[in-house]
Structure 1
Amino acid sequence: MTFMVFSACLAQNKPSVPTSPALINESYDYIGTQFDDSDAISSGQMLGNYEKMAKTDTLASRFSGLVTEVCVAKGCWMKLKLGNGKESMVKFKDYGFFVPQELVGKEVVVNGLAYVEEMSVGDQRHFARDAGKSEEEVAAIIMVEKKYAFEADGVLIKK
């Protein structure tokens, strides 16, 4: 299943941009499931949660963060800054929606499931290619790495 998602992401050449995200209120647009940000935690608090999690743990979460990177192939994932040089790789539930490249540098709130994973060298290289990294940068990836991951069912985009 994971392979199918990755190959589907690579197969596209253009980012998929939502045609017109619906207005959730005056502060946000949304993509995916609509939700309220009232109990969203900060990215720093989310980092603290991730640091307490084991590889088999999952945590229903809602947090805000700065988008640092978006898949250039299709918008099928994004990375959010957590602090202390850490970030969360956000993928979208059931491959149900994509985000525009224009989110880089913007603040968003994500709703979904946080988990910790050990990402294989192959998967890391795949995501590096999706991010537009050079072949030299891709080849430099040689070790399995612990990653903070998130499966979002919705994203609020701060205006």
Structure 2
Amino acid sequence: MKKLLPFTLLFLLICHPVLANDISLGEKLILDKKTLVSEINDEPEKYLGKRVRIEGIIIEVCAARGCWVEISSDVPFQKIQVKVVDGEIIFPMEAKGRTAAVEGLVEKLELSHAQSLAYARHKADEQGKEFDPSQVTGPTKIYRIRGLGAVIK
């Protein structure tokens, strides 16, 4: 037990700055009012083109470029994707499981059936999952947030 203590302390000292400090990405957050993810999911058209501030736990991070995250909702099993311009903001993989405040514009993607197939294939590849084209049955509407800035706590 005494031999384990120095290694534990060393680990905590190394990890402390990474785990304790907030990480600011992109633009400074300017909105005071938070919008619930469930409100956006329930009435997405109401928020189209509007700047919103959401908060939640980061449940997924793009493994390829860190160009998107999925944020949990206030309602169980709901989430919303935050997509940023590749290279402008890079979400670190270590952000998964941490709380984030994010601001951005709500946008809608309307994908044809062919585009939906390509999108689903891409998502499966990113996540290392098997792609099943029979799960894509037609055109798709995706509501997400075009991320402008974030603070990861």
Fold in common (TM above 0.5): yes
Report the Cα distance in structure 1 between the residues aligned to 2:46 and 2:132, rounded to whole angstroms: 26
Please give the TM-score of this superposition, normalised by the length of structure 1.
Answer: 0.67
1:128 counterpart = 2:120: no
User: Could you tell me which residue of structure 2 aligns to residue 104 of structure 1?
Assistant: 96
Shift of 1:27: 7.0
Shift of 1:125: 1.9
Aligned residue type for 1:151:
R
User: Could you tell me which residue of structure 2 aligns to residue 35 of structure 1?
Assistant: 29
Higher helix share: 2
User: Could you tell me which residue of structure 2 aligns to residue 155 of structure 1?
Assistant: 150
Unaligned 5+ runs, structure 2: 1-17
Match of 2:78 among 86, 91, 105: 86
Matched positions, count: 129
Indicate how the Cα distance of structure 1 residues 94 and 105 shifts in structure 2: closer, same or farther if over 3 A, else same.
closer
- Supply the RMSD in Å over aligned alpha carbons: 2.9
Unaligned 5+ runs, structure 1: 1-20
Mapped contact 2:37–2:80 kept (Cα < 8 A): no
Report the Cα distance in structure 2 between the residues aligned to 1:65 and 1:58, rounded to whole angstroms: 21
User: Could you tell me which residue of structure 1 aligns to residue 7 of structure 2?
Assistant: none
The runs of 4+ residues in structure 1 deviating greater than 4 Å are none
Report the Cα distance in structure 2 between the residues aligned to 1:109 and 1:69, rounded to whole angstroms: 15
Secondary structure in 2 matching 1:73: coil
Identity of aligned residues (%): 24
- Which has the larger Rg? 2
Aligned residue type for 1:139:
D
